[in-house]
Every structure is written in structure tokens, then in C-alpha cells.
Amino acid sequence: MTTYKRLALVASTAERAQEAESQLRASREWVPLEEADAVVALGGDGLMLQVLHQMLDSSRILPVFGLNRGTVGFLMNKFKSSRSLEERMEKARKVAVSPLHMEAVTNTGETETCFAINEVSLLRETRQSAKLEVSVNDKVRLQEMICDGVLVATPAGSTAYNLSANGPILPMGSKMLALTPISPFRPRRWRGAILPESAQITFRARESVKRPVLVVADQKEVRDVKEVRVKAWPEHQLTLLFDRGQSLDERIFAEQFAV
């Protein structure tokens, strides 16, 4: 059992989150992020992703206990004002999440790098379909895919955009990635692949000026890309805290039986 003595509190701007923040601020002493042992996040999945990205950017990785004051809250715990926050965090189960590292090269030769917790998505910018070459570990697997786009999802993100695109749900701890096409036209029968976490995936946009493509890593967008390289980044694992019986892997498991 781990004791988190110094806690930082962050909240989204949503009214429900602000009300909960006022309530929790008065319940105990809080410290700034740079002095904390763990973070309590009030809001929805968007806030959770924001907090995790801030930690990746600062290279100071802390466990995060999310309390749902948003909409879906797939990455969050239930907000229960009647239960001791300290007790819940001490008993919480730790779930490790490996982010994705994305490197994109634009048509003008500029290189952009960023990270994704859920997925990296390539999407057509105009009404014209994208033409993409797909390589895994430097070996071309698809010479040309004509589609609206394609994405690479982590287990944590496999129930988000990936699931909407008919991609597979990946259990936490599986050390796998989902490679999922978005509205593919050619090849018609290709429905994606499940790859090991160690795989490096490279996308090359064919006719990238005539058929412009953008890439989105969670919430960051880079336009007019001609090549994108994606790989998992397990050496910078993030830690989410979940109430017992409400862990992320249990939610992903339950999602597979949802009707």
C-alpha cells in the first residue's frame, strides 16, 4: 500500500468540476504540481489527457487519480464526496500506460514530434481520399491504401476513436497496438492489424501535395504531412490510479460485452 502525502489538485473549467474543486480545496492542504507525490484531476477524459501530456512535456511523471466531473470519464473514477480521498488513493490499483511517440515530416521538410496517450490518426484534409503507404519495422506491408485515414491506438485508447472505426479492443497490459483503417476504399478486405508494442509504424502519403494529409496525436494537429513514424514509448510509462474493481482493464474487458 502506497501513501500519497503531498497531493496536487487540478480541475477543468466545467461548472461541475469547479464546484468539486471548491469542495476539495477546503478538505485538506494541497501542494503545487512540482512538489506533489500524486495528482488528483477533476473533470473528464479531456482533462486527464491534458494532465498526462503536461507531465510528458515536463518529464516529471506522477500517478494521477481522476475523479469524473465531465461527460464520459472512461479514464476517471466516480466522484464520491462521502468517502475519504486519501483512503481511496492508498487502496487504488495502479495501471501503467505507455504513450506513443509520433514524428511527422511535412511537405516543406519541417519535423514535428509529440506524444499520444490514446491514438495517432492520419486523416485526409480535403474531399479527395488519402493514398498511404504503410510500413512496419521498415518493411512495406501495404503499397497503397486509399482511405479517409488510418490510426494507431494504444490499449488505453482502443475504446475511443479506434473502436468507432471498428478497430479491436486491446486489454491493458497486452503490450499491443491497434492499426486501424478509417473508411478504407482499397484494399477493400483489409480491416487492420494488431501489432506488438515494439513495432515501429511508418506512413508515407503518396501524392501528398495533390492529396494533403494531416496527423493528429490526441489533441495536437500537424497539417500537410508526407511521412509519419509512430512507436510506443514504454520507457516513459504513465500511471493511472483506479478504485478497486473499477480499473481501466476491467472497463475495457466489460466494453467487449456491451450490447
Asked if pLDDT for residue 1 goes beyond 60, the answer is no
Q: Does domain 100-235 bear CATH number 3.30.559.30? A: no
The 8 Å CB, 24+ separation contacts for 185-194 are 185/129, 185/146, 185/147, 186/144, 186/145, 186/146, 186/147, 187/142, 187/145, 190/142, 190/145, 191/166, 192/167, 192/168, 193/136, 193/141, 194/168, 194/170
Q: Is 258 annotated as a binding residue?
A: no
85 vs 40: CA distance, rounded Å: 9
| Residue appearing with cell numbers 495501471 | 95
Q: Is 46 annotated as a binding residue?
A: yes
Question: Of these residues, 45, 218, 243, 249, which one is catalytic?
Answer: 45
Least confident of 6-10, 161-165, 194-198, 247-251: 247-251
Per-domain residue ranges of the chain: 7-98+237-255, 100-235
Q: Which three cell numbers stand for residue 96?
A: 501503467
Q: Is 92 annotated as a binding residue?
A: no
163 vs 3: CA distance, rounded Å: 36
Overall average pLDDT of the 21-37 stretch: 92
Q: Does domain 7-98+237-255 bear CATH number 3.40.50.1370? A: no
Q: What is the pTM of this model?
A: 0.87
Q: Is 159 annotated as a binding residue?
A: yes
pLDDT in tens, 102-157: 999 999 999 999 999 999 999 999 999 999 999 999 999 999 999 999 999 999 99
Q: Active site includes 45? A: yes
